[in-house]
């Protein structure tokens, strides 16, 4: 059995004992994190989000802050230009920022390999590889349809106005994750969620070999270690079970039981494309068979693309509500395909607006 080795991570570390666990949200990353954290040499305590801050300082167009992010970047560029503090200096600064956190967490844990599990790192995978040229990467891949189902049931529920806020996770995330995996190359290992829960011992042995630590069968009893700290990650569902279970692999098939979910699922599979789906372990044909629809996948009734990319779900719902009244008054549209589509969009608009009214009323009553 491996014994814990306690030594600090130096501030100039290039990531020799650092591992990034990358995935989409709702992919079982908290589950794998808990398993790895139960190893005597692996420290994977909770999501850190640490590296997003320094890396996004170079992406002012994607930041919303009280100071002017564009001017801040100009200042960094000026320093680089006039004083020679170029790209390498900035990489060292990012590295020192991360190492200060990782080192203290490692010292407190008494372990010697830190695993940073932060799903939104899919936005910065190439940057992480550049900042930490010796770090290793674990890519946890889950069927995107299962991710969609989890987002709908666990995060959205009946509050459809929430759906656009997960556009990046659902639409951009899969592509960025797979592009990042390809770019990392031999410094990465890929683990599929379905294979992990069906044969956890085999997959964990593969991971441990990749990390140069011995496999510990006790890792499978992760539930005995207690609930993880922090507010992020699916700690509730993860701790529902004390050992890996494969009972949720095909849960996403029930998307066909609700017409809204079914229509969204068909849109989603078409939006991602067959090539990307196959790289993530499924295909449009598999999706069609599981949902009981024709292949090629049918056209959707509702414009999910416009809804997901709307700047404001509420304003979009209100606009649809008005459009319905305008078109409904024009008899020429009655019975037409446009009339049918707008009628159903009106229902979605009602659902969104009613949901928000109920939330405001509940807040007032409280």
Residue 121 CA to residue 165 CA, distance in Å, equals: 17
Question: Residue 353 has which token pair?
Answer: 């607006």
User: pLDDT tens digits for 293-342?
Assistant: 999 999 987 778 777 776 555 555 555 555 555 445 444 444 555 555 55
- Residue 301: burial class (beta carbons within 10 Å; 0-12, 13-18, 19+): middle
Q: Are 180 and 122 in contact, with CB atoms under 8 Å apart?
A: yes
Paired residues of 18 in beta bridges: 114
The per-residue pLDDT for 276 is: 98
Paired residues of 141 in beta bridges: 192
Taking 70 as the pLDDT cut, the residues of the chain under it are 1-12, 85, 224-245, 310-353, 356, 366
The per-residue pLDDT for 234 is: 60
CATH number of 18-238: 3.40.50.300
The per-residue pLDDT for 148 is: 97
The per-residue pLDDT for 241 is: 56
The per-residue pLDDT for 330 is: 47
The per-residue pLDDT for 242 is: 55
User: pLDDT tens digits for 125-163?
Assistant: 999 999 999 999 999 999 999 999 999 999 988 777 788
The per-residue pLDDT for 128 is: 97
Phi, psi (degrees; rounded to nearest 5) at 232: -100, 155
């Amino acid at each position: 059995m491996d014994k814990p080795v306690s030594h600090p991570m130096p501030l100039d570390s290039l990531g020799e004992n650092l591992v990034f666990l990358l995935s989409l949200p709702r992919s079982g990353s908290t589950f794998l994190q808990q398993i790895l954290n139960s190893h005597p040499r692996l420290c994977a305590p909770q999501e850190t989000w640490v590296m997003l801050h320094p890396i996004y300082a170079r992406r002012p167009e994607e930041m919303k802050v009280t100071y002017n992010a564009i001017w801040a970047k100009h200042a960094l560029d000026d320093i680089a230009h006039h004083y020679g503090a170029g790209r390498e200096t900035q990489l060292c600064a990012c590295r020192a920022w991360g190492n200060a956190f990782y080192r203290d967490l490692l010292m407190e844990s008494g372990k010697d390999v830190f695993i940073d599990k932060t799903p939104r790192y899919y936005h910065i995978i190439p940057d992480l590889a550049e900042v930490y040229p010796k770090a290793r990467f674990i890519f946890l891949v889950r069927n995107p349809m299962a991710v969609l189902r989890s987002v709908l049931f666990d995060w959205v529920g009946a509050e459809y106005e929430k759906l656009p806020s997960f556009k990046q996770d659902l639409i951009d995330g899969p592509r960025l994750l797979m592009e990042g995996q390809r770019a990392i190359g031999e410094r990465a290992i890929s683990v599929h969620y379905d294979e992990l829960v069906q044969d956890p011992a085999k997959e964990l042995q593969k991971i441990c070999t990749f990390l140069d630590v011995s496999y510990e069968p006790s890792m499978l009893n992760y539930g005995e270690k207690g609930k993880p700290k922090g507010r992020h990650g699916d700690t509730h569902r993860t701790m529902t079970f004390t050992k890996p279970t494969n009972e949720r692999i095909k849960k996403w098939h029930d998307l066909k039981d609700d017409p809204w979910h079914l229509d969204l699922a068909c849109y989603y599979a078409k939006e991602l494309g067959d090539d990307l789906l196959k790289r993530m372990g499924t295909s449009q044909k598999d999706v069609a068979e599981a949902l009981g629809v024709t292949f090629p996948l049918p056209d959707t009734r509702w414009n999910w693309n416009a809804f997901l990319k709307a700047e404001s779900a509420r304003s979009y719902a209100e606009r649809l509500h008005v459009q319905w009244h305008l078109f409904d008054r024009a008899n020429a549209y009655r019975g037409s395909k446009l009339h049918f589509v707008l009628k159903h969009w009106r229902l979605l608009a009602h659902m969104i607006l009613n949901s928000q009214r109920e939330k405001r009323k509940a807040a007032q009553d409280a």
